[in-house]
Amino acid sequence: MLNWLKTLLGLRRAPPDRLPEALWLGALLRYPFLAHRSIAELQQLRAMIVQFLKHKEFSGAHGLKVTDEMAVAIAAQACVPVLHLGLRWYDDFTGIVIHAGAMLASREKTDRAGVVHRYSEALLGEAMQGGPVTLSWQDVAAAGELADAGHNVVIHEFIHKIDMRNGLADGCPPLPSRKAHAAWHSVMQPAYDNFCEQVAMATRFGGEAPWLDGYGASSAAEFFAVSCEAYFVNRERFTQDFPALTVLFDQFFKPDRPVVQQVRL
């Protein structure tokens, strides 16, 4: 942990209330998708990063040292989805664990015959309900380069945290009413179904692979997270394939509009 973050967390006198210029400009240069916002939004993002860092605890796995630059990079990307919603959406956890690269997680699955299968799975990140977020620094650092493909591991995992605010991740964030839930699913479900069909056609029959990461076809929750990755880091390309989802996400992630309305295109 370097000098600025130590000071911010109160380990030294006079905690700063402003992100240092070098750290701020460094993040914008490394992750150009952050800068594709109005001046007012950038000012809000810069201030939100400081508040995020004050309330989260970073730890490096297996001796990895977390630097100011690493913490700011993660904070900046994590704040993007809640820029207009507020940090309260992340108030159910404090820990962020950073691995140097992909991590191996032990998995156990019981098939229909009752046979238990144990295996290891390589993860770029993981979000635990009520618990920490785990991230691969290698993939966090590469987020600027991966934006063209719509990939962002930080946004992916923090969208899961938003999804989990009302229970297990199911591809629908907390919404204020049954009507809002119905409106959400009326847009998300057909988009998910069509995407799964496209992935299946590409996998089984050699059809054209979708631009969006095929991992999104594994569940509605993953489709939500994968879609939001692309929506936030490459909105223009995402909208070409999912115009209705762009409208839906605009409505949810910006409070100055109705949370969810029926979308007709």
**Cβ count near 160 (within 10 Å):** 21
Residue 16: predicted pLDDT: 60
pTM above 0.75, yes or no: yes
Q: How far is CA 99 from the centre of its chain?
A: 17
Residue 261: predicted pLDDT: 43
Residue 41 has pLDDT above 50, yes or no: yes
Indicate the burial class of 264 (C-beta count within 10 angstroms; 0-12, 13-18, 19 or more).
Answer: exposed
Residue with tokens 């059809």: 207
pLDDT-wise least confident of 101-105, 167-171, 196-200, 232-236: 101-105
Residue 80: predicted pLDDT: 98
Q: Which of 139, 158, 147, 121 is nearest to 31 (CA)?
A: 147
Calculate what percentage of the chain has a pLDDT beyond 70.
83
Mean pLDDT of 128-154: 96
* Three-state secondary structure call for residue 237: helix
Q: What does the pLDDT look like over 206-245, one tens digit per residue?
A: 999 999 999 999 999 999 999 999 999 999 999 999 999 9
Q: Which residues contact 162 (CB under 8 A, 6 or more apart)?
A: 81, 82, 89, 173
Residue 121 has pLDDT above 80, yes or no: no
DSSP conformational letter for 225: H
Residue 184 token pair:
């959400």
DSSP conformational letter for 81: T
Q: Crossing angle of helices 178-205/243-253, nearest 10°?
A: 140
Domains and CATH numbers, the chain: 3-160 (1.10.472.150), 178-253 (no CATH)
State which H helix or E strand residue 156 sits in.
helix 153-163
Q: What does the pLDDT look like over 6-21, one tens digit per residue?
A: 667 655 554 467 899 9
CA distance 234 to 146: 10
CA distance 226 to 264: 23
Pair 171, 163: CB distance under 8 Å: yes
Q: Taking the chain, what is the end-to-end CA distance rounded to the nearest angstrom?
A: 49
